[in-house]
Each structure stands twice: as structure tokens, then as C-alpha cells.
């Protein structure tokens, strides 16, 4: 549910973070609508038709509704906002829902008193649809909250993606942008060749977009959590707290908690707002045309000359392709033998070779395999070169190379699997 980092905060600091997340995102069993996210929550309107009389000792109140017959049929756990009648503006949680009879049960409370004719909104219907599909098809690898540690994940290499950093490798966008929805949809439909991500082509378009909608929502949740953690971590992680309250630190527990309380009252709400806002904005911007990597010139004809120019570029100091991918493109460059420093912790990695931001060892691609994870169209390879591969040491060459040079490289790289010296 919550990240490792959240759980490393002292309990007093972790509590508000968890509370804020639950308030804004709910949990996978009780989704919550949070205005301002670029997520399609999918509200539907309904009207109360009849109310079942219920005894005073009954905790639930049941009523039959109209207007939900075309909607998704599993609405359990979703928030229901009353838009007219006594409970206007109040929320209930749907405890039971029977699609066949149109019967909804919610908890009784002082504020609400459903009467025939009252209208309401059921929120997050689309998100719930995506969640159910995600749980069926994706959860066993990618985990309940998209942390990439589902029960199947321990058997997989490369490991399933952790969605919570909001970083996806195979996109059509610039190196600083998030993934487009269409990119993730393509990944779901086509699968990722050479990994355990299978193709889900037999799902309908609607199902795929609902899954992607949910996955992006999980990403936003994870990124928000990370931003809040980063804000608190330097002062209030368990480790820092122990240091501060030790002999050398010289602070008392009360002093630290007082400072934390002050921070929570004054700065935390803004931090929270800023965190979700910036994340949402980034996701929205990714779907705009400006974020796309679009070549200025069409593909340079795939001739021997072009490939040769590409090969010279490949081996040049300008690109240093060979330092990772090896002089012959076998994925065995010298960089794979070095010990690298983890930029996040400034410590050396335990293993030789390159690593990605998720901390996994990452061999550079063997370019002779003819397996293209992000798609095998020339434009896909072009985008890998121009925008790099996010979250990995593969850099973006869009700035330093001209379009023609990039296309030459594409032609060279795409000819490697067929060069006969397999």
C-alpha cells in the first residue's frame, strides 16, 4: 500500500502522509475521486426510485435506483454523492450493489435520508472498471498499488515495472515528458517483446484505455506519495530522528515533534497541493502535441551509404554508443565492466555494469537480436535515440545530433540483426 520510504518516517510524520493519500485517493477497495487529476473518473447519475423500510437496528439503508442500467455493474465501495434531497452535498459509500435489481445499500447516517426522486452521482465508475481489469490481468505482476512486486514478480527477469515513479521507458514523448496515454495503450496491446509483458490484444479498446487510465492514476498516487516523503525525509525519517535525539544531536523528542507539528500546520497543506498539482500537470502536458518527438525530416533512405555513416557515428566519440553497446553492438561495451555510482544514494552499486533508476542491473541491448521492446517501426528506434529511454542510462541524442544523423543511426542499428554474421 505505502512505499518503503513512507514507512521509514517516524510514525508521527508517516501518519499524516498516509492520511492525506487515503483522503485523496482512497485505497484500491474504496476509490475516491480527487478533483484536478487528469484521470477519467467516470461519474454516472442516478435517481432513487423506491426506498425499502428498514428497522431502527439495521445499519444499512437500501433503496432501488434508476439510471444505472447502462453503467458498469460492480459499484461496491464507490462514493455516492447526493445531489438533491436532504443529504445534498453529503457522501455515502456503496456497501452493497445488485445490478440485476438496481438495489443499493449505504450506511445510515444523520445527514442522509433518501427519498424517491432524490438524485445522486456515483463517482469513479470508470476507475473502478479499470481497477477490476487491472486486478484480473496486471496485479499479479505489477502489484496492488503498482509497486511491481506482485506475487508473480519474483520469478520474472526483467522485473515488472514499478509504476509509482511515474516513469515509463517506451514512449513517443520528449525525454523530459511523461508517457502519453496512447504509448501505454500500445504497450498493453502489443506487449514488450523480450520481456514477460505479454500482449493483451484481445481486450477491447475500451478495456485497454480503462486499464491505462487506472495505471496512470496509480502512478499519480505513487508520485504524490514520493514528493511528500521527500519533503519530510531529511528531517523526520527514523534514522534522522534517532540522530537528532541522540547524545550528539541534543534535541528532545518533544522539540522534534513540536517542529513537526508546526510544519504540518503551516506547510504541509501547500506541499500536498503542490505535489499533486505538479504531477497532474506533467501528465496532462505529455498528452499534448508539443511533447511528442516528431522528426523534422523523413527517414533517410536505407542505403548502404546511410548505414555506413550510421556505423561511423556509432563508433565515434560524439555518441559513444560503443562504450555501452559494444563495438559490434553486442551489448558488451566497456561500461558493462565498470562499477557505477548510484546517483540517488551516491554509493557504488554492488554489481558491475549499468543500472536503471529502479535499482535493477541493466545490460545494454544486444542490437543483433532483432527484438525491439518499444516497437520495431523506424520511428520507434528514432525516438529511443532522440529522447533516450527514460529511467535508464540510455541518453537522449535529440539535441546533439541532426535529424539526418539520427536516421543514419537508425538505419545502421536496424540493419544489425540481418548483417549475416550471427
The residue (of 199 and 252) whose beta carbon lies closer to another protein is: 199
Task: Please report, for residues 93, 165, 171, 215, 357, the alpha-carbon distance to residue 212 in angstroms, rounded to integers and kept in the order given.
Answer: 25, 15, 14, 5, 22
CA 133 to chain CA mean position, Å: 16
Q: Which residues lie near another protein (CB under 8 A)?
A: 137, 140, 152, 155, 172, 180-183, 190-191, 193, 196, 198-199, 201-202, 287-290, 292-295, 298-299, 370, 376-379, 382-383, 407, 414-415, 417-418, 422
Least gap, CB of 302 to another protein (angstroms)? 8
Q: Which residue has the cell 518503503?
A: 4
Cis omega (within 30 of 0) on the bond before 158? yes
Least gap, CB of 55 to another protein (angstroms)? 44
Angle at 246 between CA 264 and CA 268, to 5 degrees: 10
The residue (of 73 and 288) whose beta carbon lies closer to another protein is: 288
Least gap, CB of 365 to another protein (angstroms)? 17
Least gap, CB of 106 to another protein (angstroms)? 36
The residue (of 171 and 336) whose beta carbon lies closer to another protein is: 171
**Backbone dihedral angles phi then psi of residue 413, each to the nearest 5 degrees:** -65, -40
Least gap, CB of 177 to another protein (angstroms)? 12
The residue (of 6 and 177) whose beta carbon lies closer to another protein is: 177
Q: For the chain, percent helix, then strand, then coil, each to nearest 5?
A: 40, 10, 45
Contacts of residue 139, defined as CB under 8 A and 6 or more positions apart, other chains included, come to 150
Least gap, CB of 358 to another protein (angstroms)? 22
**Which grid coordinates belong to 36?**
484536478
The residue (of 92 and 172) whose beta carbon lies closer to another protein is: 172
In the chain, DSSP finds a helix count (H) and a strand count (E) of 13, 10
d(CA 233, CA 309): 50
The residue (of 68 and 386) whose beta carbon lies closer to another protein is: 386
Amino acid at each position: 500500500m505505502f512505499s518503503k520510504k513512507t514507512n521509514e518516517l517516524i510514525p508521527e510524520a508517516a501518519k499524516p502522509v498516509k492520511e492525506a493519500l487515503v483522503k485523496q485517493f482512497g485505497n484500491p477497495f474504496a476509490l475516491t475521486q480527487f478533483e484536478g487529476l487528469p484521470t477519467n473518473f467516470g461519474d454516472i447519475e442516478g435517481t432513487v426510485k423506491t426506498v425499502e423500510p428498514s428497522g431502527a437496528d439495521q445499519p444499512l439503508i437500501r433503496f432501488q435506483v434508476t439510471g444505472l442500467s447502462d453503467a458498469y455493474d460492480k459499484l461496491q465501495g464507490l462514493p455516492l454523492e447526493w445531489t438533491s434531497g436532504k443529504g445534498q452535498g453529503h457522501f455515502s459509500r456503496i456497501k452493497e450493489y445488485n445490478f440485476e435489481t438496481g438495489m443499493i445499500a449505504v450506511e445510515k447516517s444523520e445527514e442522509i435520508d433518501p427519498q424517491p426522486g432524490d438524485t445522486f452521482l456515483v463517482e469513479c465508475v470508470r476507475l473502478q472498471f479499470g481497477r477490476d481489469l487491472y486486478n484480473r490481468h496486471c496485479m499479479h505482476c505489477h502489484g496492488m498499488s503498482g509497486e511491481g512486486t506482485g506475487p508473480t514478480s519474483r520469478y520474472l527477469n526483467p522485473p515488472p515495472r514499478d509504476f509509482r515513479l511515474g516513469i515509463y521507458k517506451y514512449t513517443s514523448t520528449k525525454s523530459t515528458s511523461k508517457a502519453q496515454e496512447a504509448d501505454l495503450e500500445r504497450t498493453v496491446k502489443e506487449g514488450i517483446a523480450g520481456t514477460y509483458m505479454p500482449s493483451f490484444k484481445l481486450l477491447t479498446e475500451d478495456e485497454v484505455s480503462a486499464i491505462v487510465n487506472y495505471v496512470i492514476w496509480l502512478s499519480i498516487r505513487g508520485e504524490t506519495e514520493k514528493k511528500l516523503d521527500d519533503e519530510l525525509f531529511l528531517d523526520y525519517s527514523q534514522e534522522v530522528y534517532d540522530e537528532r535525539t541522540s547524545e550528539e544531536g541534543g534535541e528532545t523528542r518533544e522539540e522534534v515533534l513540536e517542529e513537526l507539528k508546526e510544519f504540518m500546520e503551516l506547510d504541509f497543506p501547500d506541499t500536498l497541493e503542490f505535489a499533486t498539482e505538479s504531477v497532474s500537470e506533467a501528465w496532462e502536458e505529455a498528452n499534448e502535441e508539443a511533447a511528442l518527438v516528431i522528426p523534422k525530416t523523413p527517414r533517410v533512405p536505407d542505403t548502404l551509404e546511410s548505414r555506413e555513416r550510421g556505423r561511423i557515428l556509432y563508433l565515434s566519440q560524439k555518441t559513444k554508443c560503443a562504450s555501452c553497446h559494444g563495438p559490434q553492438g553486442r551489448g558488451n561495451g566497456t561500461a558493462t565492466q565498470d562499477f557505477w555510482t548510484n546517483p540517488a544514494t551516491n554509493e557504488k552499486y554492488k554489481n558491475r555494469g549499468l543500472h536503471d533508476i529502479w535499482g535493477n542491473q541493466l545490460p545494454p541491448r544486444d542490437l543483433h537480436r532483432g527484438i525491439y521492446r518499444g516497437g520495431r517501426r523506424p520511428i520507434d528506434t528514432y525516438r529511443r535515440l532522440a529522447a533516450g529511454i527514460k529511467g535508464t542510462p540510455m541518453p537522449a541524442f535529440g539535441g546533439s545530433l541532426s535529424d539526418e544523423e539520427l536516421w543514419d543511426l537508425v538505419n545502421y542499428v536496424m540493419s544489425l540483426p540481418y548483417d549475416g554474421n550471427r
